[in-house]
A and B are shown apart, each in its own frame.
Chain A
Amino acid sequence: SITGACGAIQKLTRVRVVDNSTLGNTPYHRPPKCIHVYNKTGVGKVGDKILLAIKGEKKKALIVGHKMPGPTMTPRFDSNNVVLIEDNGNPVGTRIKTPIPCTLRRREGEFSKVLAIARNFV
């Protein structure tokens, strides 16, 4: 059974990988889950890095949208979206079709490569 979303992304939340990488898109009998949030609190919001367990491997990822409502004027998505990332910050995929919040543009320095492959901004 699937529980309704309680908060933003924390340990053991199922996430949806949004880019076009093979690791994120090949079907597997278990959905990708978060196992660690690189944050002082264990709760990940938009722009936080997390560790995912996909297809039996550990991979870092960047949160680009969650179901929890945030500050006003920021978008709230219907699914917890995540983009796979390497340790140095390079994205694994080459294109991101789903819309990305404009608030990520504030941290242009860290996420410039991810923003470069994104198509739509909300």
Chain B
Amino acid sequence: RVSSDGKPPKFQPPPKPVIIDRKTQKEERRFLSPEFIPPRGRTDPLKYYLERKDMIQRRKVFNIPEFYVGSVLAVTAADPHASDKSTRFVGICIQRGGKGLGATFVLRNVIEDQGVEICYELYSPRIQAIEVLKLEKRLDENLMYLRDALPEYSTFDVNMKPVPPEDHEEIPVNKLQVRMKPKPWSKRWERPKYNIKGIKFELPEHKMKAAQKWSQPWLEFDMLREYDTSKIEKKIRKELSEELEK
């Protein structure tokens, strides 16, 4: 190497190695199912602790995969009256409700031009298998507006092949804006109380403005409605990791 002035080049220390600790990062980001977080109230935490024990017992025997509202699932449930004794239903998860052992999720699909929704209980012993065909999130937590959207947004092929997830770090968010059937809808989705981001509203401007009349901007600053779950989540994650290692 030819240097200026014939002197040796200034000593450049080697670049510091950047250590990305993937293990700790993964542990922090591991998914905690929303039904583990107890609701805000005055019930004895012992009740939720006992429920969590039963939930963990069930999860040890039967695998409940990680999924979000907006992912496509296939559920095989036991049915004494069907030939083969089991029925399989494929659909998009539009809502996850309930806490503890009564946690439910609603799957929606359109079969032969007929929209069908089934509400399954996550911890029911009648469920034999849950497969996630497509793991993704949507812009909203509740996709009930799909009932008033064009049926093409709720149709999913029953024999669809599972799509393998790409990244192990982040779950893809589908920023799809859904087109709706003409009004009247089952709920007035344009109102700010529902706070829906996943609909492409084709309503005239004056109607959108009139809907803002029902906005309650003080709600997000209401301190009595706050529910900080960070400490509770930490405790529950610790409990879960201890129990699952046993």
Contacts and interface: CB of A to CB of B under 8 A. Distances in A.
Interface of A: 2, 4, 65, 69, 72-79, 81, 97-99, 102-103, 105-106, 108, 120-122
Residue among A75, A76, A81, A102 having the largest count of chain B Cβ atoms under 10 Å: A75
A102 B112 contact: no
A77 B116 contact: yes
Interface stretch (B25-33, B61-69, B117-125): B117-125
Given A4-B184, A77-B114, A105-B82, 11 more contacts: A69-B119, A73-B126, A75-B117, A76-B117, A76-B118, A77-B115, A78-B116, A99-B114, A108-B81, A122-B87, A122-B118
Contacts of B116: 75-78, 99, 122
Nearest to B158: A120
B114 A81 contact: yes
B114 A98 contact: yes
20 contacts: A4-B184, A65-B114, A69-B119, A72-B121, A72-B124, A73-B118, A77-B115, A78-B114, A78-B117, A97-B112, A98-B112, A99-B111, A99-B116, A102-B81, A102-B87, A105-B81, A105-B82, A120-B112, A121-B82, A121-B87
A72 B114 contact: no
A33 B113 CA distance: 21
A15 to B, nearest CB: 14
Contacts of B147: 78
Contacts of B77: 73
Contacts of A105: 81-82
A22 B127 CA distance: 40
Contact of B119 (A76, A79, A120): A76
A24 to B, nearest CB: 15
A93 to B, nearest CB: 15
A7 B88 CA distance: 27
Contacts of A77: 114-116
B186 A4 contact: yes
A79 B186 CA distance: 13
Interface of B: 77, 79, 81-82, 87, 89, 104, 111-121, 124, 126, 147, 184, 186
A54 B87 CA distance: 34
Nearest to B110: A78
Contact of B112 (A69, A73, A99, A106): A99
B82 A102 contact: yes
Nearest to A3: B184
A114 to B, nearest CB: 14
Contacts of B119: 69, 72-73, 76
A120 B82 CA distance: 12
B124 to A, nearest CB: 7
The 6 closest A-B CB pairs, nearest first, are: A78-B115, A105-B81, A98-B114, A76-B117, A75-B116, A75-B118
B162 to A, nearest CB: 21
Contacts of B112: 97-99, 120
In the complex, which of the residues B87, B120, B147 has the most CB atoms of chain A within 10 Å of its own CB atom?
B87
Contacts of A72: 104, 119-121, 124
